[in-house]
Amino acid sequence: MIEFLRHRLSRRLHATCAAFAALVLLPAELLAHGVAAGDKGYIQEIVGVHLIPFAYLGAKHMVTGYDHLLFLLGVIFFLYRLKEIGVYVSLFAIGHSTTLLLGVLTEVSVSSFLVDAIIGLSVVYKSLDNIGAFQRWFGFQPNTKAATLIFGFFHGFGLATKILDFEISPDGLIPNLIAFNVGVEIGQILSLSAILIAMTYWRRTTSFARHAYTTNVAVMAAGFVLMGYQLAGFFILES
């Protein structure tokens, strides 16, 4: 029995370390709301209404956004009914869309490093929730729907902060922002569909029950790495 526990703990530690190492080797701009150099230049130079390009950029951001994908993975990890998945994803989309639009239009600016650190915290929170840590450690269960909405606000606000840094032209700003947000939601649907297909297949195997805990620990480690990168950037570059 002791040997079995040692073996199981070793496998969990290896999975966590692997996730940590993989993220450490990634460029910092890929770890949150990074925007490719070409896209950044396009956003800064474009003038007027360009709905299709901005929709494309929004979809591209979501599909390549590690923080968004990790959080969505955590949200749907133990959801089996499409109705439940729809509710949680809709709450996340409402939060994300609201602060994306309001943040840019009101020009409310906060350090992107701190916002992205909170987004990393959202990944940690959802992983802890999935492994039942709050019940075991504190004896209570946070409202998961409220948490999904609140963290959705931060995810949208993080991107709004980045967009403000680009100082895009006010000419066509509102239509372009709406198109960008529509693209974000399209990208979310595409990403979520891929995650659901993979999860559905995995749940049909015996390995899901064996490795669900380990996977959430690995995702939690990834969330801590995201937080660490952003906090380091804040203290090094903005202090």
pLDDT in tens, 42-97: 777 778 888 998 899 889 888 888 888 899 999 999 999 889 999 999 999 999 89
Contact 230, 32 (CB under 8 A): yes
Question: Using 50, 70 and 90 to split pLDDT, how confident is the model at 206?
Answer: very high
- Global pTM reads 0.79
pLDDT in tens, 124-152: 999 999 999 998 998 888 999 999 999 99
Greatest Cα-to-Cα distance within the chain, rounded to the nearest angstrom: 68
Determine the pLDDT at residue 61.
Answer: 82
Determine the pLDDT at residue 35.
Answer: 55
Tell me what the mean pLDDT of segment 106-122 comes to. 86
The structure tokens 């494309």 sit at 56
| Of the ranges 2-11, 13-22, 57-66, the best mean pLDDT one | 57-66
**pLDDT of 109 over the 90 cut:** no
Determine the pLDDT at residue 37.
Answer: 56
Residue span of the structural domain in which 202 resides: 2-237
Q: How many domains does the chain have?
A: 1
- 63-66 contact pairs (CB < 8 A, 24+): 63/187, 63/190, 63/191, 64/30, 65/32, 65/33, 66/26, 66/30, 66/31, 66/32, 66/222, 66/226
